Amino acid sequence: MKLLLKKDIAKLGIVGDVVNVSPGYARNYLLPQHLATQPTAANMRALAEERAKAEERRRLRREHLSQVAEKLADVEVTIEAAANEEGVLYGSVGPREVAAALRDEGHDISTESVRMHDTIKRLDNVVVDVVLADEIEATVKVWVVRSKGSDTDDVDTLDQPRGTETEADRDTDDPHG
């Protein structure tokens, strides 16, 4: 079924596009939500101005995203995580942590933009893709390092065995002791 889009719809088209969709999608979603209409000549003329505005908005957005991608080109972020002696993380580092680290560095990146094949589970450095739009993406180097509080080498051990006490530990004022 051919319809004329009244609004931008991701992965389908922008305002003014004539698209071919299944009848069920048109009947159950696009038409009831007023996202599309029949492609008559009058409707196409009415949406011509909206289409020009939508194309301008899209062009400006792509320019902005291209600038963001250029800024991200040489960015490296460091994420601290708790790990054991072998370098295996107690948790994992995923897109949410990478996006948060990028936001801490001053880049406005959403979690959905960070694409990883798998979460990071070891102390390592990994190159991560940041997809900003269909054809606009950047790569960011992510360093996962041991957090300062998780060093197992620096754990203080007691000098004396449990259950023994020294003269300083004894309460001399206690008449029963």
Q: Let me know: does 5 contact 17? Beta carbons within 8 Å.
A: yes
Residue 104 is inside which H or E element, if any?
Answer: helix 95-104
The CA distance from 120 to 127, in Å, is 11
Mean pLDDT of 20-46: 91
Residues 86 and 146 in one domain: yes
Domain harbouring 76, CATH code: 3.10.430.100
Q: For residue 81, give its domain range.
A: 71-150
Q: What is the 3-state secondary structure (H, E, C) of 2-50?
A: EEEECCCECCCECCCCEEECCHHHHHHHHCCCCCEECCCHHHHHHCHHH
**Within a domain: residue 99?**
yes
Position 158 confidence tier, pLDDT thresholds 50, 70, 90 = very low
**Within a domain: residue 62?**
no
Report DSSP state, residue 117: S
Residues 83 and 128 in one domain: yes
Residues 31 and 93 in one domain: no
Residues 79 and 145 in one domain: yes
Domain harbouring 34, CATH code: 3.40.5.10
Residues 104 and 138 in one domain: yes
**Within a domain: residue 177?**
no
pLDDT tens digit sequence for 50-96: 888 888 988 998 999 898 889 888 889 999 999 999 999 999 999 99
**Within a domain: residue 162?**
no
Report DSSP state, residue 106: T
**Which tokens belong to 56?**
């301008």
Residues 6 or more apart whose CB falls under 8 angstroms from that of 69 comprise 130, 132, 136, 137, 138
**Within a domain: residue 56?**
no
Residues 99 and 138 in one domain: yes
Q: Is the pTM of this model over 0.75?
A: no
Across the strands, what pairs with 145? 80
Residues 33 and 88 in one domain: no
**Within a domain: residue 53?**
no
Residues 84 and 14 in one domain: no
pLDDT tens digit sequence for 107-120: 888 999 999 989 99
Q: For the chain, what is the domain count?
A: 2
The CA distance from 38 to 35, in Å, is 11
**Within a domain: residue 167?**
no
Residues 94 and 134 in one domain: yes
**Within a domain: residue 6?**
yes
